[in-house]
Amino acid sequence: MEFQNIRFQKKENIGILTVDRPKALNALNTQTIQEMCSVFKEVKMDDTLRLLIITGAGEKAFIAGADIGEIQELTLKNGLEFLQAGHQMNRDIEGLGKPTIAAINGLALGGGCELALACSLRIISEKAKMGLPELGLGVIPGYGGTQRLARLIGKGRALWYLLTGDMIDAPTALELGLANMVTAPEELMEKTLKLGKKIASKGPFAVKMALMAVNYGLETNMESGLALEAALTNLALQSKDKEEGIAAFFEKRKPGLALEAALTNLALQSKDKEEGIAAFFEKRKPEYKGE
């Protein structure tokens, strides 16, 4: 697919998505969201990619919100569709099954801040600022900001920034737990990639299970969360990644962690899979040939 508003590249096992509309401060319009969602789908299906970094082109903006010109033209009918597209974009980020890092190089406002909130981690430049200024336009954050900000920094603090529209600078973002690291602007991508490589070296199946345990566990009570954690841990204990990780520990070497998902994907392309599914629908015993 040809992209007009974004760039996507792969560096070893890390994907880098750059929103590339610097003249519009990388604002999100419908086409940009569609292009991003197509990349998320690719990253999710690509077992060679372990992690995704999202950043903005230029020095001024990460993503300075939704496209105001497009918002101005919204009606009651297509407004809901516009908001649902933003919700789906952020759900796609959270549902990748792989960690995402927002490398915040400049203004992350409105929809841009909301996208960053959907990422697993946020690294912010010393010169960058975040915020949800929508109330000043007579609207409220519509891409999940009212929900994710409160979950991340607490109800009282979230309401402060929602109601005042105050900008959040890098040191404050770090203090609030909104950002995980502050860097010099010129070191942002270098340090983000360094962190990405560290995370990408972990067992991919275990990483996926950890993301699920935290993301879904936070939406329930402690006992249900612990039950979920135990179930997901048990799955990880049966994985090839666990076998290799423990073997490497005792052999005092770096683990060559197996891509459990890649092996599963190979199985999905096999003749045995085709025969198994055909036999299921035909209500007969499958005749496997080991292919």
Active site residue 187: no
Burial string for 158-169 (b: 16+ CB within 10 Å, else e) reads: beebbeeeeebb
Give residue 185's pLDDT.
Answer: 96
pLDDT digit string (tens) for 269-288?
A: 556 656 666 666 777 777 76
- Structural domain 6-200, CATH architecture: Alpha-Beta Complex (3.90)
**pTM of this prediction?**
0.84
Give residue 271's pLDDT.
Answer: 65
pLDDT digit string (tens) for 121-155?
A: 999 999 999 999 999 989 999 999 999 999 999 99
* Catalytic option among 12, 35, 81, 134: 134
* Catalytic option among 114, 229, 243, 275: 114
Question: pLDDT grade, residue 252 (50/70/90)?
Answer: confident
Question: pLDDT grade, residue 103 (50/70/90)?
Answer: very high
Give residue 257's pLDDT.
Answer: 57
Using alpha carbons only, what angle is made at residue 81 by residues 17 and 132, rounded to the nearest 5 degrees? 60
Residue ranges of alpha helices (H) inside 110-239 are 111-118, 145-153, 155-164, 170-176, 188-200, 204-217, 222-237
Can 6-200 and 204-282 be said to share one CATH topology?
no
DSSP 66: B
d(CA 244, CA 29): 44
Average pLDDT (28-55) is 96
Boundaries of every domain in the chain: 6-200, 204-282
Q: Does 249 score more than 90 pLDDT?
A: no
Average pLDDT (155-173) is 97
Active site residue 134: yes
Domain 204-282 has CATH 1.10.1740.110: no
